Structure 1
Amino acid sequence: MNLHEYQAKQLLRDQGIPTPRGVVLDNAGQAEMAATHLGGDAWVVKAQIHAGGRGKAGGVRVVRSVDDLIHAVSTLLGSCLVTYQNAPDGQMVTRLLVEETLDIAREIYLSLTVDRESERIVLVASGSGGMEIEEIARTDPDKILREVCDPVWGLQDYQCRNVAFGLGLEGAQIGAFTRLAKGIYQIFMRNDLSLVEINPLVVTSAGELVALDCKISVDDNALYRQKELAVLRDPTQEDAKEVAAREADLNYIALNGNIGCMVNGAGLAMATMDLIKLHGGQPANFLDVGGGATAETVAKAFKIILSDANVKAILVNIFGGIMRCDIIAEGIITAVKEVGVKVPVIVRLEGTNVELGQKMLAESGVGVISADDLTDAAKRAVAAVA
């Protein structure tokens, strides 16, 4: 679960980490009030959406008069902001963060994330922060500094100093960076986070470190014990199909293709999407219905897949281990009849009672196409949408 920038910055402030002063708006009538509250003669208007690349997409604007502030707020609120991370549909802007401007001397990238390979939390930093950090990581990885946190001792002072030296910080900035980095680590652990990204962490002309932006992601599996964070979820920023899948206890991620996928098992789902891509198709989603899929579960999955207007065919790839293939076939037949599926449905079954399951599908009269194996299923699905 992602937090909005203004929500993430509140966690930073609660930890004593400096951020710019700001005001959250949800209607244009609050713009003048924000200018009066913040003072000064220039402000930054930032669209609050769950996607990166806002600056390049026009979602972050510096304004230098109250009239320009009112105009920026009026045009951004209610608009659909499309960035490289949320294309092609974009996300609706329902809130804005208006902040004071700072005199910036330099920008730094700083994050804490989980490294799956080392199974550790890792502090990542670079002296080249800002909008081009992804390009820097790709073209000049030596500029990326890393410190692996011990699971018992956590992030240590010497590690923070190592990074501070590597970033070229000096004097009091080294101690300030150490306090800031360790504060972020405490936020990470206390709130069961999967990512804290400050991009950029700026050094002001006065030599102070300030978190100019912040992205925070919470581990969904820990939301049951992070109830104060769970209520901050903004469903308007999530795909409606993903929200419906979560309510149905299905693991679903929307993609931009036209072949719907229904699979039991995350690994099998990934393999299914790989085969579709290999044979020239584009998967419309990742959907894991789980090992104990029932007719009801399958029906819900069909409805969610078909709510995507781009879906022109559905590939069902089920391994009958926990559940027998004949039971799964019965569920597919029932679901197709109940939902009224109008697009080709290609089914590949494997496992216990697979012959009986295939026979039931062939005699069902619902027009389901039975595939011999996964490669055959992928080829048939791609041909169906060609």
Structure 2
Amino acid sequence: MNIHEYQAKKLLKHYSINIPKGFIVTDAKQLDNIFFEKDKSYIAKVQIHAGARNKAGGVQKISTKQEAIGFCQKFLGRRIVTPQTPKGGKVVSAIYIEEALNGNQELYLSIFADKNKQCNIALASKEGGIDIQDAFKKSTSNIVCIDPLLGFAQFYAKKALCAFNFKKEQANKFITLLSNLFRLYKDIDAELVEINPLIDTGYDFFALDAKIVIDDNALFRQDEVLSYRDILQEEPLEYQASQNNLNYVKLDGNIAMVVNGAGLAMACLDTIEDYGGKCANFLDIKGSATKESIIKALEIIYQDSRVKVVFVNIIGGIVRCDIVANALLDFCDTYNFSLPIVARLEGANKNEAIDMLSTFKKGNIAIVKTLKEGIEKVILSAGEKL
């Protein structure tokens, strides 16, 4: 789960990490009661779950209340498109305004889980700010692998210090900063905690921008963080799926998939793409699927107007094939669903399921024996060429 920058900074502050003074605006009228100091600069930033906001004018230096009002009126309630948003952009429901700070240098600091190395990574670089990806191509970053069994220790922070040339006092403050950041990372079950840029003022460090991503699987024990969820920033169909224990990701194609198991879903998606098709979604109904959750998955697909055909690819085990067939029939009857459905069913109660689907009166459900046959059929049904 993503959270907004201002929410991330609230968490940083709680863990004794310096941030510039700021406030959140959800209505331009709120600025009537805000005092702006003369001869002082501020930074106004749109709050969306995407980066590269500056490239779309969503980050602006301001000096007066009128400039702040103008910025808020321009963006609040409207969509902004950046290189990292979907084509339709993201709705701006809040703007964060904070004091502008200057420093000796802009740094980069993050902690994230590396599944390949099976450890937590602390990544430090003296090349912070925008276009950080380009900076990582240089030899200015330091990667520190933190053993999850050992936990954080000061020698990890000292190793990260090798990326910089701090004097003793600043070096000690950096060690404390990294220690606090890792404590936050662990306490909130984060997948990523990133500060970019982290500015060095010469006497201390300040987080000018922050990004935090929480592990969805740990949200059940993160009540405070869960309250930060902004469903306006999420794809509506993906949000519906998450509320029904479904793994769903919206894609750009027109072939919908209903598959049990993430590995099978990935293999199915890749094969469809290899054969020239385009998937409308990644949808894993999971091994614990019920008739009700399968119908909910089909309802989510039903809401996607781009879909031309549905491919149901089930390996029956815990989820029996007849349960899937029952869900398909009830869904088609309830919604008068007439788009072609191609079903490949293998495993528990396969024959019963095939008998049920074969006698379906609407005739829009085709049963196939192999994955290859199914994929070729859905691609042709979608109007694509093999």
In the superposition, the TM-score normalised over structure 2's length comes to 0.93
When structure 1 is superposed on structure 2, of 287-296 and 226-235 the one drifting more is: 287-296
Supply the distance in 2 between the matched residues of 1:202 and 1:114 (Cα, whole angstroms).
24
* Equivalent residue number for residue 13 of structure 2: 13
Q: Does 1:191 align with 2:227?
A: no
Residue in 1 aligned with 2:48? 49
CA distance in 1, matches of 2:164, 2:343: 55
Q: Residue 341 of structure 1 aligns to which amino acid in structure 2? A: F
Which of 224, 227, 234 is residue 223 of structure 2 equivalent to? Answer: 227
1:218 aligns with 2:214: yes
The amino acid of 2:25's aligned partner reads: L
- Offset at 1:53? 1.6
Q: 1:39 to 1:301 in 2, by over 3 A?
A: farther
How far did residue 207 of structure 1 move?
A: 4.6
In the alignment, the residues of structure 2 paired with residue 123 and residue 8 of structure 1 have an alpha-carbon distance, to the nearest angstrom, of 18
SS of corresponding position for 2:9:
helix
Whole-angstrom distance in 1 between the partners of 2:290 and 2:150: 45
Query: Contact 1:347 / 1:368 at 8 angstroms: preserved in 2?
Result: yes
Query: Which amino acid is 1:331 matched to?
Result: A
1:327 to 319, 323, 342: 323
Query: Residue 39 of structure 2 contacts residue 63 of structure 2 at CA under 8 Å; is this kept in 1?
Result: no
- Which blocks of at least 5 consecutive residues in structure 1 are unaligned? none
Shift of 1:214: 0.7
* Identity between Structure 1 and Structure 2 (%): 36
Contact 2:107 2:199 in 1 (8 A): yes
- Equivalence for 1:79: 78
What does residue 289 of structure 2 align with?
A: 293
Q: Kindly provide the amino acid, as one letter, of the partner of residue 250 in structure 1.
A: L
Report the CA distance between 1:51 and its aligned residue.
1.2
Cα gap change, 1:382 to 1:16, in 2 (>3 Å): same
In the alignment, which residue of structure 1 is the partner of 2:166? 169
Contact 2:258 2:297 in 1 (8 A): yes
Aligned to 2:361: 365
**CA distance in 1 between partners of 2:157 and 2:233 (Å):** 35
Q: Name the stretch that deviates more: 351-360 or 222-231.
A: 351-360
Distance 2:79 2:10 in 1: 25
What is the alpha-carbon distance in structure 1 between the residues aligned to residue 117 and residue 135 of structure 2?
23
> Could you tell me which residue of structure 2 aligns to residue 29 of structure 1?
29
Shift of 1:342: 3.3
CA distance 1:100–1:57, shift in 2 (3 Å) = same
The count of residues paired between Structure 1 and Structure 2 equals 382
Q: Residue type of the partner of 1:9?
A: K
Partner of 1:272: 268
> How far apart in 1 are the matches of 2:38 and 2:92?
25
1:255 maps to which residue?
251
The whole-number CA distance in structure 2 between the counterparts of 1:12 and 1:38 is 25
C-alpha change, 1:207 and 1:277, in structure 2 (3 Å) is farther
> In angstroms, what is the RMSD of aligned CA positions?
1.9
Aligned to 1:302: 298
Q: Which runs of 5+ in 2 are unaligned?
A: none
- Partners of 1:38 and 1:92 in 2: how far apart? 30
* 2:197 corresponds to: 200
Please say which of residues 256-265 and 149-158 is displaced more in the overlay. 149-158
Which AA in structure 1 matches 2:259? Answer: V
Greater alpha carbon shift after TM alignment, 355-364 vs 247-256: 355-364
- The Cα shift of 1:40 comes to 4.4
What is the identity, as a one-letter code, of the residue corresponding to 1:146? I
Aligned-pair CA distance for 1:26: 0.5
Q: Which amino acid aligns with 2:19?
A: T
| Whole-Å separation in 2 of the counterparts to 1:207 and 1:292 | 55
Farther-moved stretch of structure 1 (360-369 vs 303-312) = 360-369
For residues 40 and 17 of structure 1, what CA distance do their matches in structure 2 show? 27
Q: What does residue 144 of structure 1 align with?
A: 141
Structure 1 residues 121-173: Cα deviation after superposition (integer angstroms, max 9, x where no partner)? 11112222222122334x44x43321111224322222212222313333322
1:272 partner SS: helix
The range that moved more, 316-325 or 151-160, is: 151-160
1:130 corresponds to 2:126? no
